[in-house]
Amino acid sequence: MKNDKPFLDTNVLLYLLSEDNAKADRAEAIIAAGGIISVQVLNEFASVAFRKLGMSYAEIRDVLATVRTVCQAQALTADTHERGLDIAERFGFSLYDSMIVSSAVESGCTVLYSEDMQHGQEIDGQLVVANPFLDN
């Protein structure tokens, strides 16, 4: 099940709120084109937006409601978790990054936009990590 839409890591969503206009504009363009996110991405965004950025829950809901109009949210399952543990063990990613990768693989995505992992790294012959902010 190949999916032409990219999977978006939490940092892509967080750059919407960046004071770096080039990165904020790039994030907006990526999200506007549509993609796949996981419930974990929604949770991580909400946590950072509240704790580090001081946003209210109403503001967080507004941003995420907009994101969900253009991005499909992938549910987390026990299978996602098991695959994520395997990915963490094989690739040495953090547990949370491994769960993102697992969700991307389960979604059939071929590209994972993230700046947290190695640009160009291939996972299981299906997924390639791409840092969309390298040129900025």
Tokens of 37: 């996110």
Question: Which residue ranges make up each domain of the chain?
Answer: 7-130
pLDDT band at 15 (very low <50, low <70, confident <90, very high): very high
Are 7 and 40 contacting, i.e. CB atoms less than 8 angstroms apart? Answer: no
Per-residue pLDDT tens over the stretch 100-123: 999 999 999 999 999 988 899 999
Q: Does domain 7-130 have CATH number 3.40.190.10?
A: no
Cα–Cα nearest to 73, from 2, 1, 133, 13? 13
Tokens of 131: 């840092």
pLDDT band at 1 (very low <50, low <70, confident <90, very high): low
Average pLDDT, the chain: 95
